[in-house]
């Protein structure tokens, strides 16, 4: 029986209205504008990270060839590349970019709950990015301590950037965390409190679940990095000995005494491991929705998918020391962390099975979002399986600090989330701009990027298995390194440059389609979630026109038997068109 | 039943749909700003907890010297308790609609908080006079770090307090004031608990 409920039950919230160009587009409090600012900044700094990877690949592929890369530069390139990609690109893009754009639209809210704080969040993030960039221009350049910034070497003379660079790095990270916390409060409270009528937590699209849980992780994990940053800054500036042991550097006894570098490692990885899932969970969520929409099928095991996200989130706080197996820890400690690490594979594998089962008997459309989602699936399995190697202490010890580790984490948290980022951009670009991206260019971009990523990172597994260590500037004539490694390194460098340059096609596509792309209409993919049901495309200020949508169903009513279309939007009440479902 | 109850629902079933269609409003029956503050207290708690863990880990090393806590800290703690009590009183008064009384206690709470911060600075001075600086021993470093961090959080609270005082002066309506006063009070109590835990740890070690 249908229950008739009056529309007025959704309380309207007071909405901030911009009065000038500046408050509308620059110091905007509209989550959609903030999302684009976050996304644009993240991609811009990500391109810097990309160029840094080219430079380090040039050195690895063709050592002794380029006079403008010396050892100092090389260490700075790897450090800043890692930091940019993990934090300033992926974290900011998934949570600040997609989170801001999609959360209010998907839950049926007019905006985030604290729009002013949301705006400040972006500007603090921008400051953090600018300070990071500024470290290239200070004396000694940016820090070259590796992205993990381990003391004592990170703040000891002799390490590149140990004067100004490391301080700017630490300040930038602290600012990033403060800015993120402001944004994070918005994401969490908006999901909890600002959902429209009928949008229960268990009717949320998985995209929102992924971003929601990732934000909770980030709110609890980033403080660990913050603590580490503050204590290291004090070690550097005030001469405290939180992390700095008694040591002799360049023939001089330093003033430090008795600090514990391992303490920093614990703090860093207590943040660092959840960070993997801060990037991965939004990707999990988004890819679930992309697969369902483009295979015209409900997501297999929705409840299990939600549980898996929550369980992975919780477990991610008890696996951190698997990054520290070679730090001299007690064997039982290693045993404990190897066990928790393997346990986390259970909910993760569950998700993978559910994605595959979603595709089973689906009406698979090989659109760009689908292609990128499939690429994610393959890549994530690949990276996950090498994770099983590294999660086991005895296998990890010989592989530790080799290129195998580099290959593993690039697959699992570099390429896999990046595939989702691309898929998501192809999927939501029509909503954000009102126009479709060009399909031919999209296909080209997909195949070059997907095949290219494998051509780059599969050889790195082999190189790592040969025992080639990561982070080395050059190897010279090292006896155990076979010729194949040298050849492959050169090959990988050439591919890296090619794939990198091919991204121009993607940016050109975005630029060209903005003006000349095919007009998308409100719901070009036939999707069910609320962002596709807005009154106008792109959605205007306040997202939903006069009245907020009311929700009558979950996000996955695809191919319902007897229904008029092969999708039923979440805000469509039961009726003849939906077979009274 | 909270979130775990939600997680067992089956949103695709028609009978569940009937129930879900009626659901309106937030997951927590509180004003948005209060939910925001409570959520904010989680990362702050994570921050202080991690500092405490770092303290305990660092303590186990041989170079650790026990710090003789300045007696002034006892007085400061009492002042912070008074500050919290004054805000609590103003919160109770604003609930009863007594704006004048609320105003006095609210101001008093802020003044005590400033007095606490002044007292903490004086405690630093006491320590410095004894030759205890941030870099003389890790226990000293942690003392300065804890007190500075706690002080900065209180200072942040005082900014919110100042904005509320401004609103009181501007004659904002009681309903609006009540929220600001409540938020300040919750935050004050929270920082009092943090301080008591940290002070207890400093005394015990």
Gap from B200 CA to chain A (nearest CA, Å) = 21
CB contact burial A160-197 (16+ within 10 A = b; e otherwise): bbbbbbbbbbbbbbbbbbbbbbbbbbbbbbbbbbbbbb
The chain A residue lying nearest B32, using CA atoms, is: A193
What is chain A's mean pLDDT, rounded?
Answer: 94
Lowest mean pLDDT among A304-313, A445-454, B106-115, B163-172: B163-172
pLDDT category of residue A546 using cuts at 50, 70 and 90 = confident
What is the model's pLDDT at position B175? 84
Q: Do B54 and A267 touch (CB under 8 A)?
A: yes
Q: Do B57 and A192 touch (CB under 8 A)?
A: no
Residue to test with chain B: of A7, A227, A310, most B Cβ within 10 A: A227
Strands (E), A3-153: none
Gap from A298 CA to chain B (nearest CA, Å) = 10
φ and ψ at residue B76, rounded to 5 degrees: -60, -40
The chain B residue lying nearest A177, using CA atoms, is: B43
pLDDT category of residue A529 using cuts at 50, 70 and 90 = very high
Statement: residue A434 has pLDDT above 60? yes
**CA proximity to B102, closest of B175, B34, B159:** B175
Q: Which domains does chain A have, with CATH numbers?
A: 32-241 (1.20.210.10), 526-581 (no CATH)
Q: Which region, left, alpha or beta, applies to residue A526 given φ > 0 means left and ψ of -120 to 50 means alpha?
A: left
What is the model's pLDDT at position A476? 82
- Identify the bridge partners of residue A302 per DSSP, sorted by sequence position: none
Would you call A194 an interface residue with chain B, using a CB distance cutoff of 8 Å?
yes
Among partner residues B9, B26, B62, which is closest to A193 by beta-carbon distance? B26
Residues sharing a CB contact under 8 Å with residue A125, sequence separation 6 or more, in sequence order: A38, A41, A92, A96, A175, A176, A179, A180, A183
Statement: residue A418 has pLDDT above 70? yes
Would you call A264 an interface residue with chain B, using a CB distance cutoff of 8 Å?
no
Residues of chain B contacting A550 with CB distance shorter than 8 Å: 21
> What is the distance of C-alpha B42 from the center of its chain?
11
> How does pLDDT run across A1-13, given as a tens digit for each residue?
344 444 445 566 6
**Encoded tokens for A393:** 């202490």
Q: Do A302 and B51 touch (CB under 8 A)?
A: no
Distance CA A176, CA A87 (A): 9
Lowest mean pLDDT among A89-93, A112-116, B26-30: B26-30
Evaluated on CA atoms B115, B116, B119, B124, the torsion sign reads negative
Radius of gyration from C-alpha coordinates of chain B: 22
Gap from B101 CA to chain A (nearest CA, Å) = 31
Would you call A266 an interface residue with chain B, using a CB distance cutoff of 8 Å?
yes
ipTM: 0.95
> How does pLDDT run across B94-140, given as a tens digit for each residue?
988 888 889 999 999 999 999 999 999 999 999 999 999 998 999 99
Cβ A2 vs Cβ A574: under 8 Å: yes
Residues of chain A contacting B32 with CB distance shorter than 8 Å: 113-114, 189, 193-194
Averaged pLDDT, A119-136: 98
Measured CB to CB, residues of chain B less than 8 Å from chain A are: 3, 6-12, 14, 17-18, 20-28, 32, 35-36, 39-40, 42-44, 46-47, 50-51, 54, 57-58, 61-64, 134-135, 138, 141, 145, 149
B32-204 homologous superfamily = Cytochrome c oxidase, subunit III, four-helix bundle (1.20.120.80)
Residue to test with chain A: of B6, B30, B32, most A Cβ within 10 A: B32
Statement: residue A573 has pLDDT above 50? yes
Averaged pLDDT, A37-47: 98
Residue to test with chain B: of A104, A182, A240, A254, most B Cβ within 10 A: A240
What is the model's pLDDT at position A20? 87
What is the model's pLDDT at position A144? 96
The chain A residue lying nearest B18, using CA atoms, is: A3
Cβ A527 vs Cβ A572: under 8 Å: no
What is the model's pLDDT at position B2? 67
The chain A residue lying nearest B54, using CA atoms, is: A263
Residues of chain B contacting A552 with CB distance shorter than 8 Å: 17, 21
Gap from A292 CA to chain B (nearest CA, Å) = 15
Would you call A552 an interface residue with chain B, using a CB distance cutoff of 8 Å?
yes
> How does pLDDT run across B35-91, given as a tens digit for each residue?
999 999 999 999 999 999 999 999 999 889 998 888 999 999 999 999 999 999 999
> How does pLDDT run across A511-528, given as a tens digit for each residue?
999 999 999 999 999 999
Interface of A with B in 308-367 (CB under 8 A): 310
């Amino acid at each position: 029986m249908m229950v008739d409920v009056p529309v007025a039950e959704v309380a309207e919230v007071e909405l901030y209205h911009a009065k000038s160009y500046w408050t509308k587009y620059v110091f905007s409090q509209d989550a959609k504008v903030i999302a684009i600012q976050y996304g644009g900044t993240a991609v811009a700094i990500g391109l810097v990270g990309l160029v840094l990877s080219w430079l380090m690949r040039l050195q690895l592929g063709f050592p002794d060839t380029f006079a403008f890369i010396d050892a100092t530069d090389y260490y700075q390139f790897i450090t800043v590349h890692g930091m940019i990609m993990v934090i300033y690109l992926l974290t900011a893009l998934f949570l600040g970019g997609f989170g801001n754009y999609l959360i209010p639209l998907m839950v049926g809210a007019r905006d985030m709950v604290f729009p002013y704080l949301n705006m400040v969040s972006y500007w603090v993030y921008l400051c953090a990015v600018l300070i990071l960039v500024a470290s290239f221009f200070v004396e000694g350049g940016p820090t070259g301590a590796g992205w993990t910034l381990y003391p004592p070497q990170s703040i000891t003379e002799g390490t590149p950037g140990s004067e100004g660079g490391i301080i700017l790095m630490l300040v930038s990270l602290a600012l990033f965390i403060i800015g993120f916390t402001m944004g994070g409060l918005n994401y969490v409270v908006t999901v909890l409190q600002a959902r429209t009528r009928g949008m229960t937590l268990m009717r949320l699209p998985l995209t929102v679940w992924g971003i929601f849980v990732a934000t909770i992780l980030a709110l609890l994990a980033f403080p660990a990095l913050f603590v580490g940053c503050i204590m290291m800054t004090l070690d550097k500036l005030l001469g405290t000995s939180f992390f700095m042991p008694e040591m002799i550097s360049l023939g001089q006894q330093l003033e430090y005494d008795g600090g514990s570098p391992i303490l920093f490692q614990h703090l860093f990885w207590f943040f660092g491991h959840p960070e993997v899932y801060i990037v991965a969970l939004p990707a999990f969520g988004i890819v679930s929705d992309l697969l369902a929409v483009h295979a015209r099928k409900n997501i297999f095991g929705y409840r299990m998918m939600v549980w898996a996200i929550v369980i992975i989130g919780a477990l991610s706080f008890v696996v951190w020391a698997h990054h520290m197996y070679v730090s001299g820890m007690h064997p039982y400690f290693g045993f404990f962390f190897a066990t928790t690490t393997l346990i986390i594979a259970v909910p993760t594998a569950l998700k993978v099975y559910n994605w595959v089962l979603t595709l089973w008997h689906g009406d698979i459309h090989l659109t760009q979002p689908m292609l990128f989602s499939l690429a994610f699936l393959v890549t994530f399995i690949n990276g996950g399986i090498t994770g099983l190697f590294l999660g086991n202490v005895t296998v990890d010890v010989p592989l530790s600090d080799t290129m195998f580790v580099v290959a593993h984490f690039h697959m699992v948290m570099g390429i896999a989330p990046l595939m989702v980022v691309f898929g998501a951009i192809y999927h939501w670009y029509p909503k954000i701009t009102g126009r479709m991206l060009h399909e031919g260019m999209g296909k080209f971009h997909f195949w070059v990027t997907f095949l290219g990523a494998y051509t780059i990172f599969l050889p790195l597994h082999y190189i790592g298995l040969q025992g080639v260590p990561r982070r080395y500037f050059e190897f010279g004539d090292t006896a155990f390194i076979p010729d194949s490694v040298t050849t492959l390194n050169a090959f990988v460098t050439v591919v890296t440059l090619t794939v990198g340059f091919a991204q121009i096609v993607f940016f050109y596509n975005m630029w060209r389609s903005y003006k000349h792309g095919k007009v998308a209409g409100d719901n070009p993919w036939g999707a069910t979630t609320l962002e596709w049901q807005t009154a106008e495309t792109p959605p205007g200020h306040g997202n939903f026109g006069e009245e907020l949508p009311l929700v009558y169903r979950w996000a996955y009513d695809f191919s319902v038997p007897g229904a008029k279309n092969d999708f039923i939007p979440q805000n469509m009440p039961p009726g003849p068109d939906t077979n009274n479902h | 039943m909270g979130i775990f109850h939600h997680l067992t629902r089956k949103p695709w079933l028609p009978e569940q749909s009937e129930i879900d269609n009626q659901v309106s409003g937030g997951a927590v029956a509180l004003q948005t700003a209060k939910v925001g503050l409570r959520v904010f207290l989680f990362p702050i708690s994570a921050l202080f907890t991690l500092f405490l863990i770092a303290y305990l880990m660092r303590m186990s090393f041989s170079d650790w010297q026990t710090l003789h806590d300045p007696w002034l800290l006892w007085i400061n703690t009492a002042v912070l308790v008074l500050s919290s009590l004054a805000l609590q009183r103003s919160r109770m008064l604003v609930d009863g609609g007594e704006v004048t009384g609320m105003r006095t206690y609210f101001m008093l709470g802020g003044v005590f908080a400033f007095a606490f911060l002044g007292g903490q600075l004086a405690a630093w001075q006491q320590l410095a006079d004894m030759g205890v600086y941030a870099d003389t021993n890790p226990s000293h470093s942690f003392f300065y770090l804890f007190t500075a961090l706690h002080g900065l959080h209180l200072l942040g609270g005082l900014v919110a307090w100042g904005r509320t005082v401004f609103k009181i002066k501007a004659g904002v309506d009681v309903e609006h004031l009540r929220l600001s006063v409540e938020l300040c009070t919750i935050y004050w109590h929270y920082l009092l608990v943090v301080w008591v835990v940290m002070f207890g740890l400093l005394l015990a070690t």
